[in-house]
Amino acid sequence: MRVGISGYGLAGRVFHAPLLKGCGYEVASILTSNPERIAQAKSDFPNVQIFSELHTFLDSGLDLVVIASSNVAHLPQTLGALERRIPTVVDKPMGRTVAEVKAMIELSEKNQTLLTTFFNRRWDSDSLTIKKLLISGELGQPFRFDGRFERFRPDRNLASWRENLSPEDGGGLLLDLQSHLISTALDYFGPAQVVSASVRSIRGGADDDVTVTLKHDSGVDSYLAASAVSGAPGPRVRLLGTKGALIINELDPQEDALRAGQIPLGGMWSTPMTNSAAIHKGDQVISVDSVPGNYAAFYTLVKSAIESGSPAPVSLADALRVAEIIEEARAISVR
């Protein structure tokens, strides 16, 4: 299956390219005009075609397009692919606004062409472990979830568009890491409404300290925090239930593995990608067998959806609801 990747920065090169290769796709075309990234693409895939124009890239005989470019380019590039009826994966966030996401969905449905978005954190070890425990009932009735992506980078990277551009141009943590937090919370606990939000810029660039609170119909409250200026990051996950609390402190190791050049050949990692998890019951701490994470499962499901018409790994309804929550959070943010 010939795939084209639009954009060859962090998302395209570190995440999508090795996962696609590991799942047996042929990375046939890459869209970029950046000289450094062109050199990297040719080094990584000697036979790849490099394009600087969208139309020639999309007309290069592709079975799948992956939009891994900057957020401002997601809409026109996705519409271009869907107009040609090429199945399309869009890196998160699918669009900068609800209107953009709706435009993509409408064309996907009109042309009966697969469209999905890369909420890969649903295949983190912590995400899969949470879902295992929710099924087993070991935590009792869950009622509160804390999900965090917190880092300490007191000086913003002036070369990073994510850290400097306005929301209108696709910058900031509400569009970036909160997309993952909201997506996974909906995946765990079902439909939710926004209760409160705080979207702030501490370092003077794009929003870099963002909290969103959701109230799920299932009775769970989710407290979601993304920050680049947290000098004391909290646990990655804390899930409170009537029989105990799940604590996971570390990030899933897959991103580090991908950055180090590892590839999940055959769609599976050669070593289990797990992080430490424990159930706390007051002073009692019980280790939990974590479920190995596997981002490659996303592209295995994409291939199945293209070949057999099975469901996409992330539904368009979920993609739209995440966009709606982001827009609502920005509108009600406490300032």
**Residue-level pLDDT at 159:** 85
**Residue-level pLDDT at 335:** 60
Q: What is the pLDDT along the chain (335 residues), one digit of tens a residue?
A: 999 999 999 999 999 999 999 999 999 999 999 999 999 999 999 999 999 999 999 999 999 999 999 999 999 999 999 999 999 999 999 999 999 999 999 999 999 999 999 999 999 999 999 999 999 999 999 999 999 999 999 999 988 888 888 888 999 999 999 999 999 999 999 999 999 999 999 999 999 999 999 999 999 999 999 999 999 999 999 999 999 999 999 999 999 999 999 999 999 999 999 999 999 999 999 999 999 999 999 999 999 999 999 999 999 999 999 999 999 999 999 76
CA distances from 276 to 121, 183, 251, 326, 330 (A): 17, 22, 9, 30, 34
Domains of the chain: 2-118 (3.40.50.720), 121-294 (3.30.360.10)
Chain-wide mean pLDDT for the chain? 96
**Residue-level pLDDT at 269:** 97
- Give the CA-trace dihedral at 204, 206, 208, 213, to 10 degrees: 130
Q: Are 114 and 306 spatial neighbours (Cβ–Cβ below 8 Å)?
A: yes
**Residue-level pLDDT at 200:** 96
Question: Is the sign of the CA dihedral 214, 298, 9, 230 positive or negative?
Answer: positive
**Residue-level pLDDT at 281:** 96
**Residue-level pLDDT at 213:** 98
Question: What are 263-311's pLDDT values in tens digits?
Answer: 999 999 999 999 999 999 999 999 999 999 999 999 999 999 999 999 9
Residues β-bridged to residue 216: 192
